Chain A
Amino acid sequence: MALYSNVIRDRFRRPRFHGSLERPDVAGEDVNPLCGDRVRMQARLADGRVMEARWSGDCCAISAASADVLLELMEGQPAAHARELTPASLLERLDADVRPSRMKCVALPLTVLQCALDGREVTR
């Protein structure tokens, strides 16, 4: 398995969920202490479901791809579904051989989204 899988390269080059929402119901942001990368997550909710979500930030291809597949997985799902997702489930979607030192890059968008949906500040 490649470090930069086709999924990662594709999502990095042509992200489906990159951008920002005008009136998000929830939003969150945090920094990866390894590299100083910043990831922002926004979502609009209806009946407890994620109707629309976008990510933005200055980040590496792994974080970018992770954020993008995460929002694809969450679209239309109950907000609580985010709590059932793990970095491992994102890694499976990314189809990549990510080293332990870069797992924070995979996990960061998930942590930010989970905290935003819970209405909490990100706790590191």
Chain B
Amino acid sequence: MNMGERTRRDFPILARVVNGHPLAYLDSAASSQKPVQVIEAIQRYYETSHANVHRSIHTLGEEATEQYEAARDAVRAFIGARSREEIVFTRGTTEAINLVAQAVGRTLAPGDEIIVTEMEHHSNLIPWQMACRDHGAVLRAVPVVGEGYLDLDAYQSLLSPRTRVVAVAHVSNVLGTINPVARMAEQAHRVGAVVLVDGAQSVPHLPLDVASLGVDFFAFSGHKMLGPTGIGVLYGRREVLDRLEPAWGGGEMIKEVWIDHAQWNDLPWRFEPGTPPIAEAVGLHAAVEYLGKLGMSQVSAHEQALTAATMEALARIPGVTLYGPRNPEMKGAVVAFNVDGIHPHDGAALLDQRGIAVRAGHHCAQPLMKRLGIAGTMRASFSVHNVAEEVARLADAVARLRAEL
């Protein structure tokens, strides 16, 4: 039995019938479904251990704190960070990136430059636009070329002593392209810039070792990696986090407070003001354990096989255009495509009539859509529970689209 067949029974939602058909959930890149292990961990926490963390001097408070901090240790090990101080819990990738954009933003001077890429999700673009607007910095973008790769020569020539930040997706949420972030970070460090990697689409699907990638910041979300919504992670290299002022103030991020000033707490709590997403951290811990047991190399191989099969099947259908690298080894578990004469929203709605859930639209990557000269695409994306039969159903339904409309 392959991974998809083995794991399907762990996902209660996959028993659903949608529009008279068994659900084929091919939208994990937008948000993944949750295995029962994650759902039960959250329920167990609320039923037995919930209290506020860190300051409650009672049994439940201690248990909640223990579980919350245990989640941090599990995440640290999962992504290969060196120390727990480098793991900051946020509400999601978007908040993690905004945290860095605000904290690093305050150190920007007019004329400083920030480099993004044309394939960024809006969440790794807008916070940098705002930082540039607020501090007089200049935004530059690495072009996307060919089948959907970054123009690395252009990147090299954009880098200069004025470059302060490089912000880049590890895996494109549309093209699937796996960007060479280790090499890009090395080049950025040579000019003294810090590097933030948006890992929302890589952490759920690829084996990862952030320390060896050599990046300064790495942001990702719980809900795309079988965990709950409302929690994300900002990994920050300790030397870099140590130098940064907190982005936001509140309880928990301080050591001592006077009426006119305060002393900041230690890492990582300095960057976690307010009551954190505790139950969500417990759920994320369960998700990380689930993925860890499957093994990320096996997860990656399983999803790559589905991605390859999908590209092959869709490419055979007349009128279908595929976007992104055609070599499945160069991409994550997403396949973006269009059918001639079919608007992606109409296509997705018709697929939904057959119980097949895909994403359609601009995927929060409008600059990339403009670069590709299209309004949007349909996108199938995969997780551990997907099976070859679902790929066949997708291809069959896509082949019928033009006749149906």
When A4-B346, A102-B345 are in contact, do A58 and B361 touch as well, CB less than 8 Å?
no
Q: Which of A3, A9, A34, A61 contacts B361 (CB 8 A)?
A: A34
Residues of A within 8 A of B350 (CB): 3-4
Tell me whether A62 is interfacial, beta carbon within 8 Å: yes
Task: Find the B residue at minimum CB distance from A64.
Answer: B343
| CB <8 Å contact, A105 and B345 | yes
* Interchain CA distance A36-B353 in the complex, whole Å: 23
Beta-carbon contact of A36 and B346 below 8 Å: no
Inter-chain CA distance A41–B329, complex, in Å, is 46
Taking a contact as CB atoms under 8 Å apart, the answer to whether A36 and B405 are in contact is no
Is there contact, CB below 8 Å, between A60 and B345? yes
Are B349 and A3 neighbours in the complex by a CB distance under 8 Å? yes
Complex CA distance for A88 and B353, rounded to whole angstroms: 23
Bound CA–CA A59/B344 (angstroms):
10
Binary per-residue interface labels of chain A (1-35) against chain B in the complex, 1 for a CB within 8 Å, 0 otherwise: 00110000100110000000000000000000011
Assess the A36–B345 pair: CB atoms within 8 A: no
Contact with A along B368-392 (1 / 0, CB 8 A): 0100000110000000000000000
Determine whether the beta carbon of B375 is less than 8 Å from that of A35. Answer: yes
B366 touches A36 (CB 8 A): yes
Question: A52 within 8 Å of B by Cβ?
Answer: no
How long is the Cα–Cα vector from A59 to B349 in the complex, in angstroms?
14
| Count of B interface residues, CB-CB < 8 Å | 16
**B362→A62 contact, CB < 8 A:** no
In the complex, chain A residues whose CB is within 8 Å of the CB of B260: none
Question: Which residues, 54 to 92 on A, are CB-close (under 8 Å) to B?
Answer: 58-62
Does A95 belong to the interface (CB within 8 Å)?
A: no
Q: Which residues of A contact B343 (CB under 8 A)?
A: 35, 37, 59-61
Whether the pair A9, B405 counts as a contact (CB closer than 8 A) is yes
A6 to chain B, nearest CB (A): 11
Partner of B375, one of A4, A9, A37, A61: A37
Chain A positions within 8 Å of B346 at CB level? 4, 60-62
Any A CB within 8 A of the CB of B153: no
Q: How far is the CA of A61 from the CA of B360 in the complex (A)?
A: 14
- Expressed in whole angstroms, the minimum distance between the Cβ of B349 and any Cβ of chain A is 6
Partner of A36, one of B349, B362, B404: B362
Q: Give Cα A70–Cα B155 distance, bound, in whole angstroms.
A: 49
A35 x B404 contact (CB < 8 A): no
State in angstroms the CA–CA spacing of A62 and B348 once bound together.
Answer: 13
Residue of B nearest to A2 (CB): B353
Contact among B349, B362, B375 with A58 in the assembled complex (CB-CB below 8 Å):
B375
Measured in the bound complex, the distance between the Cα atoms of B349 and A71 in whole Å is: 25
Contacts of A60 in B (CB 8 A): 343, 345-346
Residues of A within 8 A of B376 (CB): 35-36
For residue B404, which residues in chain A have a CB less than 8 angstroms away from its CB?
4
Residue of A nearest to B345 (CB): A60
- Contact between A12 and B405 (Cβ–Cβ < 8 Å)? yes
Shortest A67–chain B CB gap in Å is 13
CA separation between A24 and B278, bound complex, in Å?
60
How many Å lie between the Cα of A62 and that of B344 in the bound state?
12
Q: What's the least CB distance linking B31 to chain A, in Å?
A: 16
Interface 1/0 per residue, A91-124 and B, CB below 8 Å: 0000000000010010000000000000000000
Residues of A within 8 A of B (CB): 3-4, 9, 12-13, 34-37, 58-62, 102, 105
Smallest CB-CB A-B distances: 3 pairs: A60-B343, A61-B346, A60-B345
